[in-house]
Amino acid sequence: MSVAPHLDPVVVELGRVALRDMRDVSTSLVYSSFLTDDGFEVVHEPDGRVDPNRFASMASSIQALSEAVAREVHIGTSEYVIIAAAQGHVIQLRVPGHPIVLGALFDDDETLGKALSVSRRCATALATALAARPADAPAGGDAHDHAATGGWPAPTASVTA
Partner 1 sequence: MGAGKSTAIQTLSETAVVSTEAANTDRATADKDTTTVALDYGEITLGPDEKVRLYGIPGQQRFDFMWSILKDRAEGMVLLVNNDAADPIGEMLAFLDEFRDLYDRGGVIVAATRSDVSATPTVADYAAALSEHRPDLVVPVFTVDPRKDDQMRTVLMTLVANIEMRSMFAAPAAAVAE
Contact set with partner 1 (CB under 8 A): 4-7, 36-40, 53-54, 56-58, 60-65, 67-68, 72, 99
Residue 123: how many CB atoms within 10 A of its CB?
A: 25
Query: In the complex with partner 1, which residue's Cβ is closer, 5 or 151?
Result: 5
- Find out whether 31 and 46 touch, Cβ atoms under 8 Å: yes
Min CB(81)–partner 1 separation in Å: 12
Min CB(16)–partner 1 separation in Å: 19
User: What DSSP designation does 149 have?
Assistant: T
How far CA 106 is from CA of 50, 116, 120, 159, in Å, comes to 12, 10, 14, 15
Min CB(54)–partner 1 separation in Å: 7
Give SS3 for 129. Answer: helix
